[in-house]
Amino acid sequence: QVQLVESGGGLVQPGGSLRLACVASGSISGIISMSWYRQPPGNERALVASIFRGGGTNYADSAKGRFTISRDNAKNTVYLEMNNLKPEDTAVYYCNVGTFFRSHWGQGTQVTVSS
């Protein structure tokens, strides 16, 4: 079974930083993209950032200039570095691995930005 495990979430003050990590295990073939999504309280899940096989990246407007997505292929890990965090960044953050056949989801990690 494919398993994605997120870590790095928690409580942080506005202006602070966090780095999320997602480690993939199991059999995953034909990876096209690795992404981070988030779901704020009472809202739908939305894309935050993606990184593709060739290393290209894509960011939601809300993340541009503050967040950086990266990967370590040897460790099967994707990261999301979040800087200058704002209260509106509060959400459950989910890791996603997209393949030609399907997407795989992690269970999510809570990020709370509050003073």
Q: Percent of the chain, pLDDT > 90?
A: 83
Do residues 60 and 47 touch, judged by C-beta distance below 8 A? yes
Query: Any idea which residue has 């409580």 for tokens?
Result: 11
What average pLDDT does the segment 49-73 reach? 96
Answer whether residue 101 shows pLDDT above 90: no
Task: Say what the pLDDT of residue 90 is.
Answer: 98
Q: What is the DSSP string of 9-51?
A: -EEE-TT--EEEEEEEES---SEEEEEEEEE-TTS--EEEEEE
Average pLDDT over residues 48-65: 96
Percent of the chain with pLDDT over 70: 100
Q: Inform me whether the pLDDT recorded for 28 exceeds 80.
A: no
Answer yes or no: is pLDDT of 31 > 90: no
3-state secondary structure of 62: coil
Pairing type for strands 10-12 and 109-113 reads parallel
